[in-house]
Amino acid sequence: MKRIIPILVVTILNCQVDIKQLPQPRNSSTINLAASNLPLYFGKFEIYSAESYNLSSAWKYTIKTILKHNRVFFDIYDLNEETIFKPDSYILDLAIYPKYNDDYNYWWTWPNVYPFTGTWPVQVRTGKYEISIDYTLSKDGKIIKQNKVTESDSLTIYIFGTYRTSDLEKMIEVTNLKVLDKCAKDIYSNLQ
């Protein structure tokens, strides 16, 4: 009985998909080849999700590296952390809306609950993920560009779907990378 309780705890904790999957930060050149020589400041930065606690700094860092990698801006700062604001700078306000839905096909999955608990391999699980980024790029109090960028994807797992969440987490990470690249390219097109 003492061995069963830790196994049940590990099993239950591994059934949830972690939607905090951020893409790896991108490398960028140390040479300033950006579309704008002016610095960028992050202004309002919000993540609207139940799982968003303590994620702002990770999202900011990832977005910063993607903007540098796509050669949009070279000098990127946080308006809330800097004491000196350079005039003629750009300000980027971001609102991020990640949304994940999980669905099981219980006709195939019910033997995993009873009578073959934890051993029934056919567990059909579908994960649907959508992320939207609302951004406003402004300079000198004037809005240069305001847009909403959205990406979505879904994945169905057929074998051990209850326990195998790494494929769903990889799908979320790739979708986050796509939306951040799309956002960076959209900002870049307005600086040309």
For residue 105, the domain's CATH number is 3.30.160.150
In a domain, 2, yes or no: no
CA-to-CA separations, 82 to 29, 40, 184, in angstroms, rounded? 24, 12, 23
Q: Which two tokens stand for residue 123?
A: 């567990």
Q: Could you list the pLDDT tens digit for every one of the 192 residues in the chain?
A: 555 555 544 554 456 666 667 777 766 655 556 678 888 999 999 998 866 567 788 889 999 999 988 888 888 898 888 778 888 899 999 999 999 998 888 887 777 777 777 777 888 889 999 999 999 999 988 999 999 999 999 999 888 777 778 889 999 999 999 999 999 999 998 775
In a domain, 53, yes or no: yes
**Strand order from edge to edge, sheet including 90-104:** 76-78, 40-47, 90-104, 122-139, 142-159
pTM of the complete model:
0.83
Structural domain that includes position 139: 31-191
Helix (H, G, I), strand (E, B) or coil at 139: strand
Helix (H, G, I), strand (E, B) or coil at 87: coil
In a domain, 64, yes or no: yes
In a domain, 49, yes or no: yes
In a domain, 125, yes or no: yes
CA-to-CA separations, 54 to 6, 51, 58, 97, in angstroms, rounded? 28, 9, 8, 15
Span between the terminal Cα atoms of the chain, in Å: 67
In a domain, 106, yes or no: yes
What CA–CA distance (Å, rounded) separates 126 from 42?
A: 35
Q: Is 109 exposed, middle or buried (0-12, 13-18, 19+ CB in 10 A)?
A: middle
Q: How many domains does the chain have?
A: 1
In a domain, 55, yes or no: yes
